[in-house]
Amino acid sequence: MIEPVVLAAAGAAVVLDVAGPGLPRVVHWGADPGPLDEVDLRALVTAAGGAVPSTTGGPIQPVGSMPLLPTQWDGYAGRPGVTGDRAGRWPFLRLARAGAVTVADNTVVAEAVDETAGVRVRCELRLDAHGVLHVQHTLTNVGCTDAWTVAALRTLLPIPEQATEILDFTGRWGLERVPQRRPLGNGTHARESRRGRTGHDATPLLIAGTPGFEFARGEVWAVHIGWSGGHEEYAERISGSTAVLGGGELLEPGEVRLEPGASYTTPVGFFAWSGDGLDGVRDRFHRMIRDRAGHPRTPRPLTLNVWEAVYFDHDLDRLTRLADLAATVGVERFVLDDGWFPGRRDDTAGLGDWVVDPTVWPDGLHPLVDHVRGLGMRFGLWFEPEMVNPDSRLAREHPEWILASPGRLPREHRHQHVLDVARPEVADYLFTAIDALVTEYALDYLKWDHNRDLLEAAPDGVAGVHRQTAAVYGLLDRIRARHPGLEIESCASGGGRVDLGILARTDRVWTSDSNDALDRQQIQRWTGLLLPPELMGSHVGPSPAHTTWRSAGLPFRTATALVGHAGIEWDISTCTPEELDTLREWATLYKRLRPILHSGRTVDGDVYGVVTDDAAVFVHTQLDNAPELRPRRVRLPGLAPDRRYRVTRCWGADAALPPDGVTLTGRALGTVGLELPWLRPEQAIVLEVSAA
């Protein structure tokens, strides 16, 4: 008898029934059931049930367990795991096991084939040390004569009956990651993006959970699709069937057409379960991301980006004065944004011509770069390589390089079009141009922007978002291989390209184009469910904010920017001496606290906090008017229960704890809490916690 397979790590587990003739069936995904002998495992599989006849005359429905790629042959009436056709034939696959299921290093690999349809699939599940399940499938056309067109190949897992609520996120430019919550009833809740990039309205995680789940309470199951092109995430409960959570690349008709012998591999579907609410899922993803080989290991430098200071008005004297002030404040990296290339006095011209404008910079960027480096700061530069303005030398010389069908130019947006990076000559041009600038100026950092959706992306009349996304990944990989010390930020009009596909090749994201601290509180909180703070660019902007014209005090703005990869996006030459002094003190505080903020476990609830073994930082905010006039009692979660901690106010509103701080056990701070000073709307207090 073939025994079931259990993958377990960090309190999570997936149990697979591998005894059948098809692909393994997922019996359980969730809490680790603990040590099980062979009899226990067989009983668990039996208890999960099998296919039962429908009492209404419908098809046989699977209950209790589900194959890795469910199809109608399995009696599944929901979205199938795999769909496609061979010139309109064989749309329904019957996948039979091909070879033995292999299990090694907490990874299961299984293959199956439909000989008649000429399709073979390979499914891989790996449960990492942090309890995140990585699921990826490959489909190969093993037919001898003609092409197989892939319509969908999805990664999905069953979720139990008690997962009755779902949480996901929507948004827009300048206000990403807006939460929305609803019941999960019968039917399909799908989030689909056809934007050609992740999207400002994309959900970083699609989460299902037990009723009323919160940050520190409830069971939750979550999925993230690590892909920057078209994508889907969905939760589905079909009457008589097991509910599922899953997703994959969203393919347009005819987009992936496999000739005989060719293969298509899905993006990785990242799945995480937690018995400790949203904090538990977040902790698994943060640990997984920080464990990547390419994760930034050095302290995240305090950054000044000049965009909201000068926009397109590039002037050497003005920029060197900004650099001088930035150095006195404590800035460690100076980034020159849009406007340094020919004709770029506004956003209507110049994109694609990646050389320094000799009329604005007659000596190149060297005077500014040398000045910045002489002040002890690193230097970064803005690019938007995937785009082109019609008013540019590149567009005039190579109109065929625009991502478009012949004679069917897509609508312009922001006076620009998309370059067809999948054309080898386009990728070579971009690589050569970027490599030349990185080499000449020894750039430390690229801000890589992407300011429009892909519309009607169909070179030669064939849908092309898939190959465009893969080509951009390839270009980034090529640049990183040539310049291994170069750091790259993923920006897409702010937070429009935030996913683990692009972050496998970049070092942080620009979380939003909005530096409005009130909006940033929500944007950063929810983006942080997936990403650890050190990957989220978070800058102090001016007041009023350039995107919303909302005014906020400097203590609130700096406290908000503190809890990410901090920086400044402000013409600090307009600051008063008092404001500059505040920025200096804040910069010193950021450098002192970033070892905690960028390594600890993030917790949420009464306050936002980051906790390590010996220390913690908590940010208490008042975002709106409160009916109470008395101070709030606030609990500080995540601390070691029996350890004593000293709590002091280190930043924020003019409200103080007792002069010598407060010393209590972690248990008392987490259950009883502290009565913190009363705050007005849009005020914050930052608390530093250290072992007593």
Domain ranges of the chain: 5-290, 303-596, 605-691
Pairwise CA distance, residues 602 & 41, whole Å: 35
515 closest CA partner among 557, 577, 464, 563: 557
257 closest CA partner among 69, 137, 84: 84
Q: Please indicate whether residue 614 is annotated as part of the active site.
A: no
Per-residue pLDDT tens digits for 432-491: 999 999 999 999 999 999 999 999 999 989 999 999 999 999 999 999 999 999 999 999
Strands 220-225 and 175-183: unpaired
The per-residue pLDDT for 132 is 98
The per-residue pLDDT for 658 is 64
The per-residue pLDDT for 49 is 58
The CATH topology of domain 605-691 is Immunoglobulin-like (2.60.40)
Per-residue pLDDT tens digits for 159-169: 999 999 999 99
Which residue's entry shows tokens 């208890």?
47
Pairwise CA distance, residues 563 & 559, whole Å: 7
The contacts of residue 646 (CB under 8 Å, 6+ apart) are 661, 662, 663, 689, 690, 691, 692
The contacts of residue 46 (CB under 8 Å, 6+ apart) are none
* Continuous segment of H or E residues that includes residue 120: strand 119-127
Pairwise CA distance, residues 472 & 478, whole Å: 10
Contact (Cβ atoms closer than 8 angstroms) between residue 253 and residue 216:
no
Per-residue pLDDT tens digits for 586-640: 999 999 999 999 999 999 988 999 999 999 999 999 888 877 767 778 999 999 9
The per-residue pLDDT for 660 is 67
Helices within 486-576 (DSSP H only): 517-527, 554-562
Q: Is the pLDDT of residue 125 over 60?
A: yes
For the range 419-423, what are the long-range contacts, defined as Cβ-Cβ under 8 Å and sequence gap of 24 or more?
419/352, 419/385, 419/386, 419/387, 419/388, 420/459, 420/464, 420/468, 421/385, 421/386, 421/468, 421/471, 421/472, 421/475, 422/459, 422/464, 422/467, 422/468, 422/470, 422/471, 423/459
Q: Is the pLDDT of residue 583 over 60?
A: yes
Helices within 264-315 (DSSP H only): 277-290, 307-310
Q: Is the pLDDT of residue 57 over 70?
A: no
The vertex-680 CA angle with 676 and 681, nearest 5°, equals 115
Catalytic residue selected from 17, 420, 513, 604: 513
Q: What percent of the chain clears pLDDT 70, i.e. is strictly above it?
A: 96
Please provide the average confidence, as pLDDT, over all residues in the chain.
94
Side chain identity at residue 398, one-letter code:
H
CA dihedral 97, 100, 106, 107 (to 10 degrees): -50
The per-residue pLDDT for 64 is 64
Per-residue pLDDT tens digits for 67-76: 999 999 988 9
Global confidence as pTM: 0.96
The contacts of residue 572 (CB under 8 Å, 6+ apart) are 304, 309, 322, 325, 326, 329, 579, 580, 583
Instruction: Compute φ and ψ for 553, nearest 5 degrees.
Output: -70, 155
The per-residue pLDDT for 656 is 60
Catalytic residue selected from 449, 499, 516, 604: 449
The per-residue pLDDT for 605 is 85
The mean pLDDT of 311-334, rounded to a whole number, is 98
Q: Is the pLDDT of residue 61 over 60?
A: no
Contact (Cβ atoms closer than 8 angstroms) between residue 33 and residue 44:
yes
Pairwise CA distance, residues 113 & 92, whole Å: 12
Pairwise CA distance, residues 176 & 498, whole Å: 10
Contact (Cβ atoms closer than 8 angstroms) between residue 136 and residue 153:
no
The per-residue pLDDT for 294 is 92
Q: Is the pLDDT of residue 520 over 60?
A: yes
The mean pLDDT of 107-131, rounded to a whole number, is 98
The mean pLDDT of 39-46, rounded to a whole number, is 77
The contacts of residue 538 (CB under 8 Å, 6+ apart) are 511, 520, 524, 560, 561, 562, 563, 564, 565, 566, 567
Homologous superfamily, domain 303-596? Aldolase class I (3.20.20.70)
The per-residue pLDDT for 626 is 74
The per-residue pLDDT for 62 is 52
The per-residue pLDDT for 584 is 98
Pairwise CA distance, residues 417 & 100, whole Å: 49
> How far from 395 is each of 352, 390, 425, CA to CA, in Å?
8, 5, 14
The per-residue pLDDT for 633 is 86
Q: What percent of the chain clears pLDDT 90, i.e. is strictly above it?
A: 88
Q: How many residues does the chain have?
A: 692
How confident is residue 48, by pLDDT bands cut at 50, 70 and 90? low
How confident is residue 301, by pLDDT bands cut at 50, 70 and 90? very high
Q: Please indicate whether residue 513 is annotated as part of the active site.
A: yes
The per-residue pLDDT for 659 is 59
Per-residue pLDDT tens digits for 390-432: 999 999 999 999 999 999 999 999 999 999 999 999 999 999 9
What CATH number was assigned to the domain covering residues 5-290?
2.70.98.60
